[in-house]
Amino acid sequence: MTNPFRPTFGASPRVWAGRDTVLHDFARAINGSPGNPDRSILISGSRGIGKTVLLTELEDIASQQGWVVLRASAREDVDKVLVESTIPEALERLDQPNPRRVTGISIAGIGSVSTEVDNQEPSQRLTTRLRELIARLQGTGVLITIDEIQDVAADDLTQIAVAYQDLVRDDLPVAVIMAGLTHGINTLLNLPGATFLRRARHYELGPLTLADAQRALEATAREGGVEFVAAEQAALFSFGYPYLVQLVGYLAWESASEIGATHIDDRALAAAMPLALERLGTQVHQPALREVPHKQFEYLAAIAAIEQRTLDRVVATAEIAEELGVPTTSLSDTRGKLIDRDLIIPAGWGKVEFAQPYLGEFIRDQRRPQRVQ
């Protein structure tokens, strides 16, 4: 039997849990009138919380309705690539005799088509190209998606915003969905001229509820013909972190398969959990910590030490200052930079916690002295 769990970043799970509101609202929006406010969406959250997966699922919903999806990523000249490559490629495909609709174009596929454009302003050029594409469609529209929006150049974002608003004013079928890290998006929202972003429907993704995580584990295993009898314990272990739900489910399935079990029980889960923590460390925590300066790492290590002593994930800034032997006021800059890095999040007045589960354990392991013989 094929393992039904998908612990790959950006891969849609076999069974959805906890994001039904977003999916339902968007599906209703693209089938409604052009002025529907749910046609512009902003998705924020920490790493591994499921932003890209949700973005992909929303793209699929649009594609199933015959919409053309123009997928952008955080790179230079997003506007230029849309105008000179991505949209012309979509138009060329519409000209082909194959009656199938174009359902997705990625900016990453640069090179197959290039065109010369006139000396219009960038936003006017993009608007012109989008109008040309929309005019060729019959009863559908165009969806622009942008992942890692916090890394997109401000000028490119402005051009997309101007073009989108121009098309909406003319009641044309266009939608835009943007996703990025919470703090990065909050910074963008505070920039001058960010009215477009502030008007978008904003969904901040948090962990799944334990009930949703358990249902996802049980239903996904059932898709593969196996009962996940230890799903409640696995959900507790995951803290509702979507990537970890898929990862522990995948490893527990593999563990059960190795011993020939027909269900995933406590024994299979116990074998999977340390492997899940190891992979979480190498795939999420280690890359995130790679370029963290010493002073910031010491701040994180203090949180990890306090967390271990108190058995509480939420730590007061005053406790961190005491742990480091410095005044609380001297830590404001370090705290802000770690929030920018998506390593910690505010947890109430004067308190913080790690942005991802088990980061404290990973840091404590990194600081243990190496044993030699």
Segment 72-97, tens digit of pLDDT = 876 657 767 777 667 777 777 776 65
For residue 270, is it within any domain? yes
- Classify each residue of 302-334 as buried b or exposed e, where b means 16 or more C-beta atoms within 10 Å of its C-beta: bbbbbbeeeeeeebbbebbbebbeeebeebeeb
Q: Are 87 and 114 in contact, with CB atoms under 8 Å apart?
A: no
Residues 162 and 181 occupy one common structural domain: yes
| CATH code of the domain in which 298 resides | 1.10.10.10
Predicted local distance difference test score (pLDDT) of residue 109: 34
Q: Indicate the pTM of the whole model.
A: 0.80
Type of residue at 79: D
The residue among 192, 130, 133 whose CA lies nearest residue 165 is: 130
Residues 303 and 264 occupy one common structural domain: no
Predicted local distance difference test score (pLDDT) of residue 370: 47
Predicted local distance difference test score (pLDDT) of residue 114: 35
Predicted local distance difference test score (pLDDT) of residue 242: 92
Tell me which residues of the chain have a pLDDT lower than 50.
98-103, 105-119, 369-370
For residue 242, is it within any domain? yes
For residue 152, is it within any domain? yes
pLDDT digits over 257-274, tens only?
Answer: 998 888 999 999 999 999
**Containing domain of residue 154, as a range?**
20-204
Q: Are 173 and 134 in contact, with CB atoms under 8 Å apart?
A: yes
For residue 345, is it within any domain? yes
Residues 278 and 332 occupy one common structural domain: no
| CATH code of the domain in which 269 resides | 1.10.8
User: Helix axis angle, 332-340 relative to 182-189, nearest 10°?
Assistant: 100
| CATH code of the domain in which 97 resides | 3.40.50.300
